């Protein structure tokens, strides 16, 4: 690489790096770092929209609002979890309980495990998902 070409690369990097830092800082200031939270009513609405015909019989929102579990009248369970700044709803079966936390794996292969802190309700949900 010639001296002139090297100087051009250095000049591009010198202008690009501050620009990237500026964009990251703006995203931080505008609140893009915040994780979405959900409440009972919003979780019910999301489940109803994502799974037509799924009649919610029981619902528990995680203690930090970062997800929810909904039991259907037919015994199936749906997980509401964040995906970026949006929410996804997936059917789940099987769970591993560790104290007040329950770790679930959606039935879809591409969806990763999710851990929710369900407090005292963790035991109930773990039993329900083991059945």
Q: Quote the domain boundaries for residue 77.
A: 40-130
Same domain (yes/no): 21, 73? no
> Which residue, among 84, 113, 88, 119, has the nearest Cα to 101 in the 3D structure?
119
Same domain (yes/no): 58, 117? yes
pLDDT > 90 in the chain, percent: 53
Number of domains in the chain: 2
Q: Which helix (H) or strand (E) holds 57?
A: strand 56-61
Same domain (yes/no): 105, 61? yes
> Which DSSP letter does residue 45 get?
H
Q: How high is the pLDDT of residue 113?
A: 86
Q: How high is the pLDDT of residue 121?
A: 95
Q: Which helix (H) or strand (E) holds 91?
A: strand 86-98
Residue 37's alpha-carbon distances to 10, 27, 48, 58, 112, in angstroms, are 43, 19, 18, 19, 19
| Banded pLDDT at 23 (limits 50, 70, 90) | confident
pLDDT digits (tens, 9 = 90+) for 52-105: 999 999 999 999 999 999 999 999 999 999 988 789 999 988 889 999 999 987
Same domain (yes/no): 64, 8? no
Same domain (yes/no): 58, 3? no
Same domain (yes/no): 21, 57? no
pLDDT > 70 in the chain, percent: 82
Same domain (yes/no): 23, 59? no
Same domain (yes/no): 12, 67? no
More confident residue, 111 or 58: 58
Same domain (yes/no): 116, 74? yes
């Amino acid at each position: 690489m010639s001296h002139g070409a090297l100087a051009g690369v250095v000049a591009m990097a010198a202008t690009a790096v501050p620009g990237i830092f500026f964009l990251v800082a703006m995203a931080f200031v505008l609140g893009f770092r915040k994780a979405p939270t959900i409440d009972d009513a919003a979780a019910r609405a999301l489940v109803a929209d994502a799974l037509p015909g799924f009649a919610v019989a029981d619902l528990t929102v995680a203690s930090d609002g970062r997800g929810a579990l909904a039991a259907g009248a037919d015994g199936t369970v749906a997980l509401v979890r964040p995906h970026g700044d949006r929410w996804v709803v997936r059917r789940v079966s099987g769970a591993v309980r560790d104290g007040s936390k329950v770790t679930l794996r959606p039935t879809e292969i591409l969806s990763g495990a999710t851990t929710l802190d369900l407090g005292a309700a963790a035991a109930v949900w773990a039993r329900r998902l083991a059945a």
